[in-house]
Amino acid sequence: MSISIKNIVPRAKVLLCRGSTNGRRHYLLLLIIVLMGWMIRIIHLDRESLWLDEVYSILFVADRSLGAIISDTFLVDFHPFGYYAFLKGWFRLLGDGAWATRFLSVIFGCVHIATTYWLARSLFRSRAIALTSALLASLAPVAVHYSQETRMYVMLMTLWPVCLGILWKSYRSRPSLGWGVIFILVGLLFLYTHDGAGVLALPLLGFWMIWGGPHDQPNRRGPPFIRS
């Protein structure tokens, strides 16, 4: 049976257009989920008064320079300076009111929805699973709660899927200095967000340093960027 190029080209165009349309619908659904999460988090953002830890965050940052924030966290605060540095920059944009400072957490909360989607898509390679994961992150009460506080917890939640996703990407890919650098930089930011981040990060680092590489090359050892 002969195959005509004239018949193949139109069919290929139809398949490409159909795939492009499905892709647009998929990302439109993701955008809707993120916007829904944003609306849930922004409603009544300043209905509750600031609680003690939020007041501490604001006062700790308000009268200190960035250098003082970095140095003083090692002296008077058991949490690292990562979140406080972001909050200091945020003060210069929107001020230090309750609504303004909590809005930074709203942004982190929306980014958390996106990073959860990215992690699920990387792990399972399924659009349906990725969208479902994003929807759960959008509606999860604990995620909504921490997205409305002037504290570092939602930033920690946002960076955790990124660390996991980068680890998985580097595990699945060929040796790459780029993945190694990205993993180290994001890992450092993660560690400097919350004092408990090390409990989560150290097992990841151990896995990354010791594991034998991709499943199809079981004899490879060491980090992806130095394996040979």
The per-residue pLDDT for 173 is 75
In a domain, 228, yes or no: no
Among 11-15, 39-43, 146-150, which stretch is predicted with the lowest mean pLDDT?
11-15
Quote the pTM value.
0.82
Residue among 123, 103, 112, 221 nearest 166 (CA): 123
Asked if residue 193 lies in contact with residue 82, where contact means CB atoms within 8 angstroms, the answer is yes
If you search the block for the tokens 């960027």, which residue do you land on?
225
In a domain, 221, yes or no: no
CA distance 219 to 78: 41
Q: Is 209 exposed, middle or buried (0-12, 13-18, 19+ CB in 10 A)?
A: exposed
pLDDT tens digit sequence for 162-193: 999 988 887 787 767 787 788 889 989 999 99
Contacts of 26 (CB under 8 A, 6+ apart): 127, 131
Characterize 51-89 residue by residue with b for buried, 16 or more Cβ atoms within 10 angstroms of its Cβ, and e for exposed.
eeebeebbebbeebeeeebbeebeeeeebbbbbbbbbbe
In a domain, 223, yes or no: no
Average the pLDDT over 12-35 and give the result: 75
Looking at every residue in the chain, the average pLDDT score rounds to 84
In a domain, 217, yes or no: no
Q: What angle do helix axes 82-94 and 66-76 make, rounded to 10 degrees?
A: 140
The per-residue pLDDT for 76 is 83
Indicate if the pLDDT at residue 85 is higher than 80.
Answer: yes
Phi, psi of 65 (to 5 degrees): -75, 170
Domain holding 129, by residue range, is: 5-210
Indicate if the pLDDT at residue 24 is higher than 70.
Answer: yes
Asked if residue 152 lies in contact with residue 160, where contact means CB atoms within 8 angstroms, the answer is no
In a domain, 162, yes or no: yes
CA distance 88 to 81: 10
Indicate if the pLDDT at residue 28 is higher than 50.
Answer: yes
In a domain, 37, yes or no: yes
The pLDDT-based confidence of 70 (bands split at 50, 70, 90) is very high
Q: How many folded domains does the chain comprise?
A: 1
Q: Which amino acid is at 176?
A: S
Quote the strand ranges of 96-218, DSSP E: none
CA distance 110 to 34: 6
In a domain, 225, yes or no: no
The per-residue pLDDT for 1 is 44
In the chain, pLDDT over 70 holds for what percent of residues?
81
The per-residue pLDDT for 10 is 54
In a domain, 215, yes or no: no
**CA atoms within a 13 Å half-sphere pointing along the CA-CB vector of 195:** 5
In the chain, pLDDT over 90 holds for what percent of residues?
59
Tally of CB atoms within 10 A around 199: 9
Asked if residue 140 lies in contact with residue 35, where contact means CB atoms within 8 angstroms, the answer is no
The DSSP 8-state label assigned to residue 49 in this structure reads: P
pLDDT tens digit sequence for 111-152: 999 999 999 999 999 999 999 999 999 999 999 999 999 999
